[in-house]
Amino acid sequence: MNIQHHFLARAASPAAAEEQARAFLDKTLLVRYAEVSVESQDTMSGEHPRFWPTLAHLADQHHDLCRHFLASLRDTGIATLDDLLSLEQGYQSKLLHIFAHLVDGFFGIDSVLFNLVEDSHVVSANLRAAIKEEPRAYYLLTANCSLLSVEEASIIHRRPPNHP
C-alpha cells in the first residue's frame, strides 16, 4: 500500500529538508513505513512559482479530509457536541479520534500536508509571513511511502505455478 505525504520544512537546502522529513518519519509513533522515497524534482522552495498554489491546494485537501470525517460522524447520528457524550465506542469513536488527530497536528497515515516547522497540519499566518520574507529557507516536498517493502509485496503477490 502506497501513501503520499507532503511536508513543509525550514532548511538550508532541499537535501536538508528531505533529511528532516525522513528523520520525522523515522521517529513518528503512529505510522511506520517500510520504504520512503522523495523525488527531488518535486521539491520546491518558497521561491518556486508553484510553491504557494501547491501549498494552498494541499491545505484545501486537508480541509476536505476534515470535512469528510465530520460528515461521516454526522452520518452516524452525531449532530451536536452534546451528542459526543453518548458516542459509541467503535466506528463512531474511531472517526472522532482520526478527526482529532487531523485537527491537533498529530501525524498519521491520513495526513496530507504536515508542517514540520510548527508540528501541524496547517500553516499559520505568522509562518506564511516568514516564508514570504525568506522564501529560500522553506521547502515543500513529497514523500512516497509504502507499508510493505518491494520484496515483501512481491512475495505476497506471487502465485504458485498453475494457480489461476
Side chain identity at 72, as an amino acid letter?
S
Span 45-89, pLDDT tens digits = 999 999 999 999 999 999 999 999 999 999 999 999 999 998 888
**Domain housing 8:** 2-157
The answer to whether position 142 is within a domain reads yes
The answer to whether position 163 is within a domain reads no
- The three cell numbers locating residue 99: 478527526
- The three cell numbers locating residue 161: 505455478
Number of structural domains the chain divides into: 1
Cβ proximity of 9 and 139 under 8 Å: yes
The answer to whether position 164 is within a domain reads no
CA nearest to 94, candidates 105, 80, 82, 78: 78
Name the CA dihedral angle for 19, 24, 25, 30, rounded to a multiple of 10 degrees: 180
The answer to whether position 70 is within a domain reads yes
The answer to whether position 162 is within a domain reads no
Task: Give the residues across from 145 on adjacent strands.
Answer: 3, 36
Residue with cell 512481491: 154
The answer to whether position 24 is within a domain reads yes
Q: Give the global pTM.
A: 0.83
Span 134-150, pLDDT tens digits = 999 999 999 999 886 55
